[in-house]
Amino acid sequence: MTERVMVTGGGGFIGSHLVKALLKQGYEVFVLDRLNETKISLDGKKANLISADITDKKRIDSVIKDTGTIDFVFHLAAQVSVAFGEANPEENRKINVDGTRNILDLAKACNAKGFVFFSSAAVYGDAKSFPIKETDPTEPINQYGLSKLKAEALCLKYTNSFDVVIIRPFNVYGPKQKPGDDVVSVFIDKISKGEPLTFFGDGSQTRDFIFVDDVVSFSVSVLKNTPVRQAVFNVGTGKETTIKELAELLMKLKGARVPVVHLKERPREIKRSVADISKIKALGFEPTPLEEGLKKTLGRMVR
């Protein structure tokens, strides 16, 4: 019997890639998203599309009645802007914490066997040791990171009902990412337009850039691995790249050079970020090197 999988936020950047991968592998997929605000394009339109806001408890309750049994839930729907979270802490909490509770209740009511929650490396805050392990202290420095940490804690309260896997992606990039979503998409957009790049400080800040296809392939593999009652996984490359190095690499790949404007460092900006991925490598995970992933991203954007 075909397993039934729900993906919240399936119309978004990572979610749309995940839905496509699940469909290819033969799962029956339900996409729960605010579809009136999202343009979603899926191969063959095989997914079942459900228009719903995760904060609307009554609507989620009606989805439970209409959908029936769901084997697995991937919860990606979230508010992901750090700036929005700082300016609107209550709305940020409502979406990322209360919304997660609603989807956990949905999973329980639909007799799900497993729940995969997409958290964020933001839960670590300004880490003190590197690479960052899953067992390292979680000390978020902004409302977004705090809301993700609270949502993680909520998920772990449901382990008597289903298996819970928490994924902490680092800086995800790839095709379908909107300009402005992350530094990679911002730089690609600026270089394509011949506009200057902005560095906050000298560009020595480091990030762990992970290709979206890698995040998706690991997420799907979770369904095939031996069930665990609960688990937390960093998903990154284990390599740190400075913002300056990223800019140089993208200009090389695009065959174009643009000026760089240096502004003051942003307050409380994280200086270093790199994942310890020994846990997922033990499961056979091998990340795509940054240059290869950027080439694939640029190639798929041109088509």
Domain with residue 295: its CATH number is 3.90.25.10
Does the pLDDT value for residue 1 go beyond 90?
A: no
Residue whose entry in the numeric block shows the structure tokens 């289903």: 162
Range with the poorest average pLDDT among 1-5, 42-46, 204-208: 42-46
What is the pLDDT, as a whole number, of residue 159? 96
Same domain, 48 and 69: yes
Does the pLDDT value for residue 37 go beyond 80?
A: no
Does the pLDDT value for residue 282 go beyond 90?
A: yes
Same domain, 135 and 252: no
Average pLDDT over residues 54-81: 97
73 or 42, which is more confident: 73
What is the pLDDT, as a whole number, of residue 303? 47
Same domain, 201 and 214: no
Of 219, 254, 259, the residue nearest 235 (C-alpha):
219
Does the pLDDT value for residue 24 go beyond 60?
A: yes
CATH of the domain at 167: 3.40.50.720
Range with the poorest average pLDDT among 32-46, 179-193, 206-220: 32-46
Same domain, 56 and 139: yes
What is the pLDDT, as a whole number, of residue 269? 84
Does the pLDDT value for residue 284 go beyond 80?
A: yes
Same domain, 15 and 138: yes
Same domain, 41 and 51: yes
Domain that holds residue 183: 174-208+238-302
Q: Which residue among 27, 124, 144, 158 is the active-site one?
A: 144
Same domain, 127 and 91: yes
Same domain, 76 and 149: yes
Does the pLDDT value for residue 118 go beyond 50?
A: yes
214 or 228, which is more confident: 214
Same domain, 138 and 78: yes
Q: Fill in the amino acid letter for 182.
A: D
Average pLDDT over residues 180-196: 95
Same domain, 147 and 296: no
What is the pLDDT, as a whole number, of residue 227? 62
Does the pLDDT value for residue 44 go beyond 60?
A: no
What is the pLDDT, as a whole number, of residue 266? 84
Rounded to 10 deg, the angle between the 243-254 and 183-193 helix axes is: 40
8-state DSSP, 202? S
The pTM (predicted TM-score) of the whole model is: 0.95
Task: Please give the tally of structural domains in the chain.
Answer: 2
What is the pLDDT, as a whole number, of residue 177? 94
> Using one digit for the tens of pLDDT, what is the confidence trace for 225-273?
766 678 999 999 999 999 999 999 999 999 999 999 999 998 878 999 9
Same domain, 183 and 204: yes
8-state DSSP, 139? B
What is the pLDDT, as a whole number, of residue 293? 99
Q: Annotated catalytic, 144?
A: yes
Mode of pairing for the β-strands spanning 4-8 and 230-235: unpaired
In the predicted model, what is the mean pLDDT of the chain?
A: 94
What is the pLDDT, as a whole number, of residue 180? 83
By the 10 Å C-beta count (0-12 exposed, 13-18 middle, 19+ buried), 181 is classed as middle
What is the pLDDT, as a whole number, of residue 36? 62
Average pLDDT over residues 39-54: 75
Residue whose entry in the numeric block shows the structure tokens 């509770």: 101
Same domain, 84 and 15: yes
Average pLDDT over residues 143-167: 97
Mode of pairing for the β-strands spanning 4-8 and 72-75: parallel
